[in-house]
Chains A and B, each alone.
Chain A
Amino acid sequence: MKRVIETSHAIALAVKLARVKVIPMYPITPQTHIVERLAEFINNGTLDAKMIHVESEHSAISALQGALLSNVRAFTATSSQGLALMFEILQIISGMRLPAVMVIANRALSAPINIWNDHSDAFAVRDQGWMQIFAETAEEALDSVLMAYKLAESKEVQIPIMVNIDGYSLSHVYEPVDIPSQTLVDSFLPKFKLEDYLDINNPKTFGPIGFPDSYMYFKEAQHKAMKNAEKRIKEINREFKKKFKRSYGNGLVEEYKIEDAETVFVCLGSICGTAREAVDQLRVKGKKAGLLKLRYIRPWPSKSIRKALNKAEKIAVFDRAFSFGSEAPLYTELKATLQDKQINSYVVGLGGRDVTIEHFKKAYRMCSKNKNGWLY
C-alpha cells in the first residue's frame, strides 16, 4: 500500500516488518523519530519487541551486541555525536561477526555545533568493519533496512551494517512510500538464527583474547567476508526485485543516463535525486551528463564502478565529508579505482548546506576545465 509518510516512519515500519525483538536506544538528541515510532508500535501492541532505554549511545550499542548474542534480531539508530560515542563498540561487534543493523541519520560532527546533514559521521567510522549503505529516498530507506537484515545475516557474510539516511534532508521528508505486506516480507526475510550464541545449556565464550599469532587471521577473515558481501548484495537485489517488483541498479551501484555520458557525477544518498534533475537539465542543453549513484561504500564496489565508468571521459565526485590535511574520501577511493581517468573533487553540503542543481551545473563546468573545488 502506498502512503505519504516520513522517512523515519518508513524505517520504523521496516524494523517492525523485520520482526525485530530488541531495540536498545538512547532517546535524547541526536536521536531520530525512528525510535519514537517504534515506541508507539510497542505501546499500541503492533510490535512484539523489548525496548531498552539506556543512558548513552555507548550503552545502546553494547546492549545491541548483548541482544544479538542471545540470538534475537535487534535494532538501534543514532546520528553524529551519538555514533561517535559508539565508536569503541563498533569493531567489537564486527570482530565478533554479529549481524547488527543500525540506521544512521547522517549529521555533521561538532564543533562548531551543527545538527544538520552531512556524511562526516559515516566516514569517521568507515573502517570499523561495518558494511555501509546509503539510501536516496524514503522507499529505498525502508527497502534497504529489509535488505540489510538479509545481507548481514547471510552465512557467507555475517557482518554488521549501517543503513545511512541523510539527517533532515531525508529523515524528515514526507513522500509516497510503498509499504510491503507482512506476508511478503516474511517470504523474503528468514527467521533469525545464529549458529553460535549465548546458551546456558551449551556454554561458549565470545570475544576472547586474540594473541598476535591469531589476531591477523580474524581481521583477514573479516575482509574476505566483506568481499563475499558484494556477490550477496547483487543476489539479494535480484530476489528483492522478484518479490517486491523494484530494485536498485545491480544492488551496489545505480546508473542514470550513463551509456553515452561524457561527464558523470558520482554521489551518495539523497542528493542523487537533485543530481538526476541536474543531469536532465544539462541534457536539454545538449550536455551529455550522467549519474553514478553509489549505494555502498563498504564493501567498496570497485568492479561495478569500473564497469559503469568505463566509457566516461570526465568524472565529478561529490563528497559530503573531508579528510583534513588530505582530500575528500570518496575522491581518494575513486582515484585508486580508476587510475587512468580524469576525476575531479567537489566538496558540498557540509553541515546542512543545501546542495542544489546549480552546484551540479557548476561542477560540470569546472570539470570541463579539470578544476576541483569546495562549492558553497
Chain B
Amino acid sequence: MIKEIVIYGRGGQGAVTSSYVLAKAFFYEGFYSQAFPSFGVERTGAPVEAYVRFSKKPINLRQHVYKADYAIVLDSSLIEAANVKEKLKRNASVFINSAKKRKYFGKDIKEITTDITSISLKIIGKPFVNISILGLFATTKLVTMESLRKAIYEMLPENLAKLNYAAAMEIYKNVVG
C-alpha cells in the first residue's frame, strides 16, 4: 500500500528540502520512498507543494498527490489558500505550524498544531521550520528520530543539521513527552 504526503510551504521556506529529508528517512526505516516538488514559478512567498510517497513495495506511480494520507503545513495561511482540505483523504492527519490554538479541520481529520516558528527561533535562531516540523511528523512513529537524524545530516551542512535536528527533537519531545 502506497502512502502519500503533501508538504505545503511558501517559496523560500524549504518545503522541497523537507520532502527530500523525509524520503531519505523513510528509506532508512526500510520503506521504498519517492519525493518530488510541484514547482510553480520560483518566487519567494509563492505557494509550493512537495510530495512524498512511501511503501513496502517499489513505487511506480509518478503522478502528483491528489488525496493525501498526511499533510505537513509550514504556513497555516496556506490551509485555505492552497485548499488543503480538498486534497486530504478521510481520516488523514495534518501537521501544522501555527501559534494559534484553534481547529482548522472537521472531525474526520486528525490535526496537530505546534508553534514551530517560535521553537525554531529559540533553538536555530532563525525561523526555519521545514526540518523542525518533521519532529512533529515523527510523533506518528512512521519514522524514528534516528532515521530523521541521519537524513537531516545527509541533506544539510553539519552546523545547520545539528540545530535543525535539535529543534525537531524538542518538538517531538514536547508531544511524546
Contacts and interface: CB of A to CB of B under 8 A. Distances in A.
A340 B28 CA distance: 51
A174 B18 CA distance: 12
A249 to B, nearest CB: 15
A270 interface: yes
Contacts of B120: none
Contacts of A276: 60
A274 interface: yes
Contacts of A273: 59-62
A239 interface: no
Nearest to A168: B39
A357 B39 CA distance: 21
Interface string B1-42: 000000000000000000110011001000011111101000
Given A4-B24, A176-B27, A168 B63 contact: no
A175 B64 contact: no
28 contacts: A4-B20, A4-B27, A4-B33, A115-B39, A168-B39, A169-B36, A172-B37, A172-B39, A173-B62, A174-B19, A174-B34, A175-B23, A175-B33, A175-B34, A175-B35, A175-B59, A176-B32, A273-B59, A273-B60, A274-B61, A277-B60, A277-B61, A354-B63, A355-B63, A356-B63, A356-B66, A357-B61, A357-B63
A279 to B, nearest CB: 10
A250 to B, nearest CB: 20
Contacts of B24: 4, 174
The 6 closest A-B pairs by CB, nearest first: A273-B60, A356-B63, A173-B36, A276-B60, A4-B27, A174-B35
A271 B63 CA distance: 8
A6 B37 CA distance: 11
B37 A4 contact: no
Interface residues of A, number: 23
Contacts of B39: 115-116, 168, 172
Contacts of A354: 63-64
A176 B59 CA distance: 10
Interface string A161-196: 000000011101111100000000000000000000
A3 B23 CA distance: 10
Contact of A172 (B27, B32, B33, B36): B36
Interface string A65-95: 0000000000000000000000000000000
A351 B51 CA distance: 19
A3 B59 CA distance: 15
